[in-house]
Protein backbone atom coordinates (compact mmCIF):
# COMPACT_ATOMS: atom_id res chain seq x y z
CA UNK A 1 0.00 0.00 0.00
CA UNK A 2 1.40 3.41 -0.93
CA UNK A 3 2.18 5.72 1.99
CA UNK A 4 -0.61 8.24 1.49
CA UNK A 5 -0.14 9.59 5.02
CA UNK A 6 3.34 10.84 4.11
CA UNK A 7 2.05 12.19 0.78
CA UNK A 8 -0.70 14.10 2.62
CA UNK A 9 1.82 15.55 5.08
CA UNK A 10 4.14 16.62 2.26
CA UNK A 11 1.33 18.28 0.32
CA UNK A 12 0.04 19.93 3.49
CA UNK A 13 3.46 21.42 4.22
CA UNK A 14 3.92 22.65 0.65
CA UNK A 15 0.45 24.19 0.30
CA UNK A 16 -0.18 25.58 3.79
CA UNK A 17 -1.37 29.17 3.51
CA UNK A 18 -1.60 29.15 -0.30
CA UNK A 19 -4.95 30.18 -1.74
CA UNK A 20 -4.22 30.35 -5.47
CA UNK A 21 -6.02 27.45 -7.12
CA UNK A 22 -3.58 27.04 -10.02
CA UNK A 23 -0.57 27.03 -7.67
CA UNK A 24 -2.24 24.40 -5.52
CA UNK A 25 -3.08 22.28 -8.57
CA UNK A 26 0.48 22.53 -9.91
CA UNK A 27 1.97 21.44 -6.59
CA UNK A 28 -0.42 18.51 -6.19
CA UNK A 29 0.07 17.33 -9.78
CA UNK A 30 3.83 17.30 -9.30
CA UNK A 31 3.84 15.59 -5.91
CA UNK A 32 1.29 12.93 -6.83
CA UNK A 33 2.91 12.22 -10.20
CA UNK A 34 6.26 11.43 -8.60
CA UNK A 35 4.67 9.56 -5.69
CA UNK A 36 4.00 6.25 -7.44
CA UNK A 37 5.37 4.54 -10.56
CA UNK A 38 1.85 3.51 -11.56
CA UNK A 39 1.03 7.17 -12.27
CA UNK A 40 1.85 7.83 -15.93
CA UNK A 41 -0.06 11.12 -16.40
CA UNK A 42 -1.26 13.22 -13.48
CA UNK A 43 -3.11 16.49 -13.68
CA UNK A 44 -6.14 18.69 -13.48
CA UNK A 45 -8.87 19.66 -15.88
CA UNK A 46 -10.44 22.92 -14.69
CA UNK A 47 -14.04 24.05 -15.14
CA UNK A 48 -13.70 27.07 -17.44
CA UNK A 49 -17.24 27.48 -18.75
CA UNK A 50 -20.61 25.79 -18.82
CA UNK A 51 -20.10 22.03 -19.10
CA UNK A 52 -16.47 22.47 -20.21
CA UNK A 53 -13.14 21.34 -18.77
CA UNK A 54 -9.79 22.69 -19.94
CA UNK A 55 -6.40 21.27 -19.17
CA UNK A 56 -4.70 22.70 -16.12
CA UNK A 57 -1.43 21.97 -14.38
CA UNK A 58 -0.21 18.45 -15.14
CA UNK A 59 2.80 16.13 -15.28
CA UNK A 60 3.42 13.70 -18.12
CA UNK A 61 2.90 13.81 -21.86
CA UNK A 62 0.43 16.05 -23.64
CA UNK A 63 -3.21 15.83 -22.60
CA UNK A 64 -6.43 16.80 -24.30
CA UNK A 65 -6.87 20.57 -24.24
CA UNK A 66 -10.66 20.57 -23.75
CA UNK A 67 -13.09 17.95 -22.52
CA UNK A 68 -16.83 18.56 -22.45
CA UNK A 69 -18.73 17.20 -19.46
CA UNK A 70 -20.55 14.92 -21.93
CA UNK A 71 -17.42 12.99 -22.97
CA UNK A 72 -14.87 10.65 -21.49
CA UNK A 73 -13.92 9.63 -17.98
CA UNK A 74 -13.09 13.20 -16.92
CA UNK A 75 -16.40 14.44 -18.28
CA UNK A 76 -18.25 11.70 -16.38
CA UNK A 77 -16.55 12.71 -13.11
CA UNK A 78 -17.44 16.38 -13.68
CA UNK A 79 -21.01 15.60 -14.80
CA UNK A 80 -21.85 13.20 -11.96
CA UNK A 81 -19.64 14.60 -9.19
CA UNK A 82 -18.51 11.02 -8.52
CA UNK A 83 -15.09 9.36 -8.56
CA UNK A 84 -14.45 7.36 -11.72
CA UNK A 85 -12.30 4.27 -11.10
CA UNK A 86 -11.74 2.67 -14.51
CA UNK A 87 -9.88 -0.65 -14.65
CA UNK A 88 -9.79 -0.77 -18.47
CA UNK A 89 -10.25 2.46 -20.44
CA UNK A 90 -11.06 0.49 -23.61
CA UNK A 91 -14.15 -0.88 -21.86
CA UNK A 92 -15.34 2.61 -20.80
CA UNK A 93 -17.97 3.79 -23.28
CA UNK A 94 -17.01 7.17 -24.66
CA UNK A 95 -13.40 7.09 -23.41
CA UNK A 96 -11.29 9.82 -25.00
CA UNK A 97 -7.84 8.53 -25.92
CA UNK A 98 -5.71 11.58 -25.12
CA UNK A 99 -2.72 9.21 -24.88
CA UNK A 100 -2.57 5.80 -26.51
CA UNK A 101 -0.52 4.44 -23.58
CA UNK A 102 -3.35 4.87 -21.04
CA UNK A 103 -4.77 1.54 -19.86
CA UNK A 104 -6.56 2.51 -16.61
CA UNK A 105 -7.68 5.76 -15.05
CA UNK A 106 -8.73 7.34 -11.77
CA UNK A 107 -10.60 10.66 -11.97
CA UNK A 108 -11.70 12.57 -8.88
CA UNK A 109 -14.01 15.59 -8.93
CA UNK A 110 -12.49 18.51 -7.02
CA UNK A 111 -14.77 20.77 -5.01
CA UNK A 112 -14.37 23.90 -2.92
CA UNK A 113 -15.41 23.69 0.72
CA UNK A 114 -18.68 25.34 -0.37
CA UNK A 115 -19.34 22.52 -2.82
CA UNK A 116 -18.53 24.28 -6.12
CA UNK A 117 -16.85 22.10 -8.73
CA UNK A 118 -13.36 23.43 -9.51
CA UNK A 119 -12.49 20.64 -11.92
CA UNK A 120 -11.28 17.06 -11.88
CA UNK A 121 -8.01 15.42 -10.90
CA UNK A 122 -7.04 12.82 -13.47
CA UNK A 123 -4.48 10.05 -13.00
CA UNK A 124 -3.72 7.76 -15.93
CA UNK A 125 -1.69 4.58 -15.81
CA UNK A 126 -0.05 2.60 -18.59
CA UNK A 127 -0.93 -0.50 -16.52
CA UNK A 128 -4.36 -2.16 -16.57
CA UNK A 129 -6.32 -2.14 -13.31
CA UNK A 130 -3.69 0.06 -11.64
CA UNK A 131 -5.95 1.76 -9.08
CA UNK A 132 -8.21 0.64 -6.26
CA UNK A 133 -10.67 2.18 -3.83
CA UNK A 134 -7.92 2.83 -1.27
CA UNK A 135 -6.13 5.04 -3.82
CA UNK A 136 -9.36 6.89 -4.55
CA UNK A 137 -10.27 7.38 -0.87
CA UNK A 138 -6.81 8.67 0.08
CA UNK A 139 -6.65 11.12 -2.82
CA UNK A 140 -10.22 12.34 -2.24
CA UNK A 141 -9.25 13.19 1.35
CA UNK A 142 -6.07 15.00 0.28
CA UNK A 143 -7.90 17.05 -2.35
CA UNK A 144 -10.74 17.95 0.02
CA UNK A 145 -8.26 19.23 2.59
CA UNK A 146 -6.24 21.30 0.12
CA UNK A 147 -9.17 22.95 -1.67
CA UNK A 148 -11.55 23.41 1.28
CA UNK A 149 -10.87 27.16 1.59
CA UNK A 150 -10.66 27.93 -2.15
CA UNK A 151 -13.24 29.98 -3.96
CA UNK A 152 -14.08 30.02 -7.64
CA UNK A 153 -12.05 32.52 -9.67
pLDDT, tens digit, 9 for 90 and up, residues 50-91: 999 999 999 999 889 999 999 999 999 999 999 999 998 877
The Cα 73–Cα 78 span in angstroms is 9
Q: In order of start, what are the domains of the chain with their CATH numbers?
A: 4-147 (3.30.450.40)
How does pLDDT run across 114-141, given as a tens digit for each residue?
A: 999 999 999 999 999 999 999 999 999 9
Q: Is the pLDDT of residue 26 over 80?
A: yes
Main-chain dihedrals φ then ψ at residue 86, nearest 5 degrees: -110, 110
Amino acid sequence: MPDYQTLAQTIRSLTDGEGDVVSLMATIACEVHHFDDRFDWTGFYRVTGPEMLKIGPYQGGHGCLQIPFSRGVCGAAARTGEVQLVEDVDAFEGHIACASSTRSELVIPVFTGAGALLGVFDIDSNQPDAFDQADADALVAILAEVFKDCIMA
